[in-house]
A and B are shown apart, each in its own frame.
Chain A
Amino acid sequence: MHQHASTPATPGGSAPVPPGADLPDHPDFLWRNPDPKRSYDVVIVGGGGHGLATAYYLARNHGITNVAVLEKGWLAGGNMARNTTIIRSNYLWDESSGIYEHSLKLWETLEEDLDYPILFSQRGVLNLAHTLQDIRDSKRRVYANQLNGIDAEWLEPDEVAKVCPIVNVSPDVRYPVLGATYQPRAGIAKHDYVAWGFARRADAYGIDLIQDCEVTGLDIVDGRVRGVRTTRGPIAAGKVALAAAGHSSVLAGMAGLRLPLQSHPLQALVSELLEPVHPTVVMSNAVHVYVSQAHKGELVMGAGIDSYNGYGQRGAFHILERQMAAALELFPVFARAHMLRTWAGIVDTTPDASPIVGLTPVADLYLNCGWGTGGFKATPGVGWCFAHTVATGEPHPYNAPFTLDRFTSGALVDEHGAAAVAH
């Protein structure tokens, strides 16, 4: 949709450009780079996908535009820039499928809404089952999804091969594919485009996106937050919304809050650009791999989480080796693809693998964290709901179950599935 103003002349003798190898251009203007004002109605801490989406929906849905988004580095440079962009809503529990399906519905119209080519591609996702218990768990999820109005089906191995012919469904592998759940509406999007789409629209509403601005403290008076201290000076705020993913514990600590979060490295990688070979998204928890082929042709893969707490945005090499072995079990054709780049994000995990979104014991301080590995797909959905929460002071029905209080009552939303050992 955004055409290059001018493109280099292509001299004769040129080869056809490979289909899909080029991406749509970004707009000529994205955002201002304002200095912070002294005060805002709402300060959002964290300029990642969630913070930017929250800012956008505050303006769009609630007319709140005197808003600053504070980012300690560059916009959307944390997990938003580091995830494998899988979008799906086929979660087990009602609470989870509620917010993720809300998000998926927003994804389906987001490109028009943001007027940005976010490359949302509903190519479907296969979640493979490798054991009899995987089958039970998978079918349970499919039945629950269907009753929750989410497109989901169970595929036998031959049907898996039809959806994704390069998956090795032969029985002769260590953990054969016994079937898969399939959500056709699931897919991928281009993460930077999504973040920048939200940022551009937020900026256009007059919201200040302030980079290189690290929050160093929260001003709390009489149990009520009044503003933030930053590396670019103090900023007063009527309300403060935390959306800092891996750094949520550190920020919450500034308000004297302790969160049930542990921050871990999570690695991902891409291959070189390849001719189209992988038409969908495949995930396998049992052998720890998830992979899709992005628009330009690179294979994008996520690894298992590193076991220990880490803020270093680095993971261990053996995790990648393990992941490659798993990838080749499932996709023998990947053997001679090359790992081109690797990176790691910091995922904030909770005891029940579900997020925490809502109010805090500090008045006017709101919290959105604990998304673990699932944050990207929730971006529009949680932005919508968190904006509602911040604007109205009450949780949106979709994030109401995800309170901090659930860890006291025991009303967890345990998405770990059948892994019954709890530590």
Chain B
Amino acid sequence: MQLITCPWCGDREEIEFHYGGQAHVAYPEDPYALDDEQWAQYVFFRDNPKGPFAERWVHAAGCRRWFNALRDTVTHEFLAVHRAGAERPSPTSTAKGQEATR
């Protein structure tokens, strides 16, 4: 069970959060301009990288806010978290150490 840093509430136990999959997948500007294959890409296809992954979480049992995170899917370590709409983090600029987040 991880300790996840909600950008609004701080460190909280993993059980308070729900996972939201890949981040930054925008709803298509004009769905009707897409053919079925392009639409299927939006509906069903998400990246599944081994390594850093920009993804969404929601602090479901807390502030109920969605936020974005950069997390390593191999170590499961959160490299960065940021509020929705904030500049996307890079793994180097905000690497999370045990101390950095407290």
**With A and B bound together, what is the CA distance between A351 and B39 in angstroms?**
14
Most chain B beta-carbon contacts within 10 A, residue among A260, A263, A314, A317: A260
Q: Mark A138-168, 1 if CB is under 8 A from B, else 0.
A: 0000000000000000000000000000000
- CA separation between A239 and B39, bound complex, in Å? 31
Cα–Cα, bound, A185→B71 (Å) = 43
Instruction: Determine the distance from Cα of A405 to Cα of B99 in the docked complex, in whole angstroms.
Output: 48
* Most chain A CB neighbours (cut-off 10 Å) among B18, B45, B47, B73: B73
Report if B74 contacts A (CB, 8 A).
Answer: yes
**Cross-chain contact A262 with B48 (CB below 8 angstroms):** yes
Q: Mark A402-416, 1 if CB is under 8 A from B, else 0.
A: 000001110000000
Whole-angstrom distance between the alpha carbons of A351 and B45 in the complex?
9
User: Which stretch (A98-106, A302-310, A381-389) binds chain B?
Assistant: A302-310
Distance in angstroms between the alpha carbons of A262 and B19 in the assembled complex: 12
User: Which size bracket describes the interface of A in this complex?
Assistant: 20 to 34
Given contacts A262-B46, A317-B1, A318-B14, contact A312 B41 (CB under 8 A): no
Contact A309 B48 (CB under 8 A): yes
Residues of A within 8 A of B55 (CB): 308-309
Q: Is B29 at the interface (CB under 8 A from chain A)?
A: no
CA distance A307 to B74 in the complex (A): 14
Q: Is the interface of B mostly helix, strand, loop or mixed?
A: mixed
The CA of A318 and the CA of B2, in the complex, are separated in Å by 10
Tell me whether A312 and B75 are in contact in the complex, defined as CB-CB below 8 angstroms, given that A307-B18, A318-B1, A407-B40 are known contacts: yes
> Complex: how many Å from CA A309 to CA B23?
13
Residues of chain B with a CB closer than 8 A to A351's CB: 43-44
A310-B71 Cα distance, complex, nearest whole Å: 10
B30 at the interface (CB under 8 A from A): no
Is B45 a contact of A260 with CB atoms below 8 Å?
A: yes
Q: Is the CB of A311 within 8 A of B45?
A: no
Per-position 1/0 for A241-264, Cβ under 8 A of B: 000000101100000001111110
B45–A307 CB distance below 8 A: no
- Count of chain B residues with a beta carbon within 8 Å of a chain A beta carbon: 27
The reply to whether the CB of A286 lies closer than 8 angstroms to some CB of chain B is no
Decide if A316 is an interface residue (CB 8 Å cutoff): yes
Q: How far is the CA of A407 from the CA of B39 in the complex (A)?
A: 10
**Shortest distance in angstroms between B22's beta carbon and chain A's nearest beta carbon?**
9
The residues of A that contact B40 with a CB separation of less than 8 Å are 407-408
Residues from 64 to 85 in B contacting A, C-beta threshold 8 Å:
71, 73-76
Residues of B within 8 A of A311 (CB): 50, 73-74
- Which chain B residues border A314 with CB–CB below 8 Å? 76
State how many angstroms separate the Cβ of B31 from the closest Cβ of chain A. 14
What residues on A are CB-neighbors of B75 within 8 Å?
312
Check B21 against A262 for contact (C-beta < 8 Å): yes
Closest B residue, CB atoms, query A322: B15
Docked CA distance A316–B53 (Å):
19
User: Cβ of A247: which chain B residues have Cβ within 8 Å of it?
Assistant: 50
Determine if A259 and B73 form an interchain contact, defined as CB atoms under 8 angstroms apart: no
Contact A258 B41 (CB under 8 A): yes
B87 within 8 A of partner (CB): no
In the complex, what residues of B have CB within 8 A of residue A263's CB? 48, 50, 73
Q: B45 — which chain A residues lie within 8 A by C-beta?
A: 258-260, 407
A408 touches B2 (CB 8 A): no
Per the bound structure, the CA–CA distance linking A258 and B53 in Å amounts to 15
Report the minimum CB–CB distance from A303 to chain B (whole Å).
13
Chain B contacts for A312, CB-based, 8 A: 73-76
Please name all residues of chain A whose beta carbon is closer than 8 Å to the beta carbon of B76 when the two chains form the complex: 308, 310, 312, 314
CB pair B73 A316 closer than 8 Å: no
Tell me the bound Cα distance from A308 to B2 in angstroms: 11
Measured in the bound complex, the distance between the Cα atoms of B40 and A308 in whole Å is: 22
**Do A259 and B48 have beta carbons less than 8 Å apart?**
yes
- Cα distance A409–B57 when bound, in Å? 30
Q: Which residues of A contact B41 (CB under 8 A)?
A: 258
Give the docked Cα–Cα distance between A312 and B73 (Å). 7
Residues of chain B contacted by A316 (CB below 8 angstroms)? 1-2, 14
Name the contact of B15 in the complex, choosing from A258, A261, A318 (C-beta under 8 A). A318
Known: A249-B50, A262-B46, A307-B18. 16 other contacts (CB 8 A): A247-B50, A249-B48, A249-B49, A250-B48, A259-B45, A262-B21, A308-B76, A309-B21, A309-B48, A309-B55, A310-B76, A311-B73, A314-B76, A351-B43, A407-B43, A407-B45
Q: 10 A-B Cβ contacts within 8 A?
A: A258-B45, A260-B46, A261-B48, A263-B50, A307-B19, A310-B76, A318-B14, A348-B48, A407-B43, A408-B36
